């Protein structure tokens, strides 16, 4: 048996949670709208927010 299998799967180390700012959430929403429009899910005059 290999050494990796003997040790097992390493456990993740939780470092904390980062909350996005209002500006970051707005930018993410705008980017998501652009992607949906590129794939034809949304029309040019539609928005998710």
11 or 4: whose pLDDT is higher?
Answer: 11
| End-to-end CA separation in angstroms for the chain | 54
Q: What pTM value is reported for the model? A: 0.60
The predicted pLDDT at position 1 comes to 63
Give the model confidence (pLDDT) of 5-32 as tens digits.
778 888 889 899 999 999 999 999 999 9
Q: Specify the pLDDT at position 4.
A: 74
Interatomic CA distance for residues 20 and 39, integer angstroms:
26
Is the pLDDT reported for residue 3 higher than 90? no
């Amino acid at each position: 048996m290999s050494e990796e299998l003997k040790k097992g799967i390493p456990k993740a180390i939780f470092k904390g949670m980062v909350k996005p700012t209002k500006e970051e959430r707005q930018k993410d929403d705008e980017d998501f709208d652009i992607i949906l429009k590129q794939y034809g899910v949304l029309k040019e005059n539609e928005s998710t927010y």
